[in-house]
């Protein structure tokens, strides 16, 4: 079997965090990763905490351990991460499947890149995220 | 080809998650107002309401589905991020195996807990 040629990822983690000349989509990508890792961390702990109910331990119920203000705030952060990750993920799935990036065309100046064609989708995603964050904040504050 | 198939599953899992996790969050945090699957008091996450949902096989199925889909999506996403660091093939293989073991272990734990909780809730309901 032929050996795959591998190139060094010279930028490393610094490359993940810097948008450089890639524009706003690159920052959306960085935030997608950060929120994804945050949700994954929460989810792994959530499995362990909810599994404790077989021993009769309901940490989230009543006025238990998970009802302290710091946990309520962190719960909102998880919701915010979910709202962003889901909205941006929906955009990524649409783009991956070829929607909202325009049709192939002759490269005639001035060029119209697919990045610019899908920008309205990014704006819609941003408004959807802000809407969800506002509903979540209203709910958390009035509960 | 295997990578393309895994990536397609990753996207499919995301779409399933959007609905199942969205429902989970709605039921756990906002259902108290309309008493959707939370007939006792206004706190959907109270012990009595948790037991009420654990009695229902639909919820047990939904928990297990959510667990499997979320573990696959999350751990495959994590693997993708780590692999961008251009690791040695042996390291990549070790990471894949480790994540598969962690994923299957947590899936086993969560499934077992959901089934035991269902049995406890049924025993409680039966007196």
Smallest CA–CA distance, residue B31 to chain A, in Å, is 12
Residue A8 lies in a domain: no
- Measured between beta carbons, the chain B residues lying within 8 angstroms of A53 are 50, 54, 113, 117
Burial of A60 (0-12, 13-18, 19+ CB in 10 A): buried
A4 three-state secondary structure: coil
* Whether A75 contacts A87, CB under 8 Å: no
A8 three-state secondary structure: coil
Smallest CA–CA distance, residue B116 to chain A, in Å, is 6
Number of domains in chain A: 1
> A119 is written with which tokens?
């920008």
Q: What is the pLDDT of residue A83?
A: 95
Positive or negative CA dihedral for A95, A99, A102, A106? positive
Q: What is the pLDDT of residue B57?
A: 93
* Whether B98 contacts B87, CB under 8 Å: no
Nearest neighbour of A61 by CB, restricted to B11, B46, B84: B46
In order of start, what are the domains of chain B with their CATH numbers?
A: 2-125 (1.20.1300)
Q: What is the pLDDT of residue B71?
A: 97
Residue A4 lies in a domain: no
Any idea of the CA torsion for A122, A123, A129, A132, to the nearest 10 degrees? Answer: -140
Residue A6 lies in a domain: no
Residue A112: partners with Cβ closer than 8 Å, 6 or more residues away: A102, A105
Residue A44 lies in a domain: yes
Residue A3 lies in a domain: no
* Vertex B110 angle, CA B76 and B102, to 5°: 40
Per-residue pLDDT of A47-97, as tens digits, reads 999 999 888 888 777 666 677 788 888 889 999 999 999 999 999 999 988
* Whether B67 contacts B110, CB under 8 Å: yes
Low pLDDT (below 70) residues in chain B:
1, 31-34, 125-127
A123 lies in which domain range? 14-142
Bigger pLDDT: B75 vs A8: B75
pTM of the model: 0.86
**CATH classification of the domain holding A133:** 1.20.1300
Q: How many CB pairs under 8 A join A and B?
A: 73
Q: What's the complex ipTM? A: 0.89
Q: For chain A, give the mean pLDDT.
A: 84
> B70 is written with which tokens?
């979320």
Question: Which of A26, A29, A35, A39 is the mutation pick for testing B, counting most B CBs within 10 A?
Answer: A39
Any idea of the CA torsion for A49, B28, B55, B123, to the nearest 10 degrees? Answer: 50
Burial of B76 (0-12, 13-18, 19+ CB in 10 A): middle
């Amino acid at each position: 079997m032929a050996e795959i040629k591998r190139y060094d990822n010279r930028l490393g983690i610094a490359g993940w965090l810097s948008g450089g000349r890639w524009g706003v989509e690159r920052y959306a990508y960085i935030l997608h990763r950060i929120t994804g890792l945050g949700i994954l961390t929460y989810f792994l702990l959530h499995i362990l905490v909810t599994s404790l109910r077989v021993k009769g331990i309901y940490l989230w119920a009543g006025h238990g351990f998970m009802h302290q203000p710091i946990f309520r705030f962190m719960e909102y952060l998880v919701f915010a991460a979910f709202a962003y990750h889901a909205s941006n993920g929906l955009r990524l799935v649409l783009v991956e499947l070829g929607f909202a990036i325009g049709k192939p065309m002759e490269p005639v100046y001035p060029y119209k890149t697919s990045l610019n064609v899908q920008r309205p989708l990014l704006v819609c995603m941003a408004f959807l995220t802000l809407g969800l964050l506002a509903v979540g904040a209203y709910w958390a504050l009035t509960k | 080809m295997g990578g393309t198939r895994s990536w397609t599953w990753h996207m499919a899992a995301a779409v399933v998650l959007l609905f199942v996790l969205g429902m989970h969050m709605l039921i756990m945090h906002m259902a108290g107002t309309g008493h959707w699957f939370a007939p006792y008091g206004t706190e959907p996450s109270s012990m009595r309401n948790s037991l009420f949902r654990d009695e229902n096989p639909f919820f047990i199925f939904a928990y297990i589905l959510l667990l499997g889909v979320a573990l696959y999506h999350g751990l495959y996403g994590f693997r993708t991020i780590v692999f961008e660091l251009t690791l040695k093939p042996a390291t990549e293989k070790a990471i894949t195996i480790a994540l598969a073991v962690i994923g299957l272990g947590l899936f086993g734990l969560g499934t077992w807990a959901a089934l035991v909780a269902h049995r406890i809730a049924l025993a409680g309901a039966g007196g």
